[in-house]
Amino acid sequence: MSDVRVAGVGLTEFGSSPERTGRDLFAEASIEAFEDAGVPREDVEALFYGNFMGELAEHQGHQGPLMAEAAGVHAPATRLESACASGGVAVREAVSRIRNGEHDVVLVGGAERMTNLGTGGATEALAIAADDLWEVRAGVTFPGAYALMAQAYFEEFGGEREDLAHVAVKNHENAVPNEKAQYRRAIEVDDVLEAPMVSAPLGLYDACPISDGAAAVVLTSEAYAAEHDLEAPVAITGSGQGGDRIALQDRTHLSQSPAAREAGAEAYADAGISAADVEVAEVHDCFTIAEVLALEALDLAPVGEGITAARDGLTTADGDLPVNLSGGLKAKGHPVGATGAAQVAELTALLRGDHPNSDHVDDATVGLTHNAGGTVASAVVHVLEVVA
Partner 1 sequence: MSDARDAGYDDWLEAVEEGEPYYLECPEGHGSLPPRRVCPDCGATDLEETPLPAAGEIATFTITHVPTPSFADDAPYVVGVADFGPVRITGQVVGVDPTAVETGTAVELEVATSETTGDRVLALRPR
The footprint of partner 1 (CB under 8 A) covers 119-121, 123-124, 127, 133-141, 143-144, 147-152, 155, 196-202, 245, 247-250, 254
Least distance from C-beta 123 to partner 1, angstroms? 5
Decide whether 159 or 367 has the Cβ nearer to partner 1.
159
Residue type, 217: V
Q: Which one from 103, 166, 284, 334 is the annotated catalytic residue?
A: 334
Alpha helices in the chain (DSSP H): 22-37, 54-58, 63-71, 86-99, 118-127, 142-157, 161-175, 189-194, 222-227, 258-271, 288-297, 328-332, 339-352
Decide whether 199 or 339 has the Cβ nearer to partner 1.
199
Decide whether 159 or 356 has the Cβ nearer to partner 1.
159
Least distance from C-beta 282 to partner 1, angstroms? 27
Decide whether 42 or 155 has the Cβ nearer to partner 1.
155
Residue whose C-alpha is closest to residue 109's, from 180, 163, 172, 34: 34
Decide whether 203 or 322 has the Cβ nearer to partner 1.
203
**Residue 297 CB: number of other CB atoms within 10 A?**
29
Half-sphere exposure at residue 147, Cβ-oriented, CA atoms within 13 angstroms: 16
Alpha helices in 298-354 (DSSP H): 328-332, 339-352
Cα four-point dihedral sign 194, 196, 198, 201: positive
Least distance from C-beta 118 to partner 1, angstroms? 9
Cα four-point dihedral sign 348, 352, 356, 362: positive
**Which residues, including other chains, have CB under 8 Å from residue 110's CB and lie 6 or more apart?**
26, 49, 50, 51, 86, 87, 90, 214, 215, 335, 337, 338, 339, 340, 341, 342
Specify whether 334 is catalytic.
yes
Torsion angle, CA of 362/99/326/310, rounded to 10 degrees?
Answer: -80
Decide whether 202 or 361 has the Cβ nearer to partner 1.
202
Least distance from C-beta 146 to partner 1, angstroms? 9
Rg (CA), the chain: 19
**Distance separating alpha carbons of residues 216 and 235, to the nearest angstrom:** 16
Least distance from C-beta 135 to partner 1, angstroms? 5
Least distance from C-beta 329 to partner 1, angstroms? 18
CB 6, CB 219: distance < 8 Å: yes
Residues annotated catalytic, as ranges: 84, 334
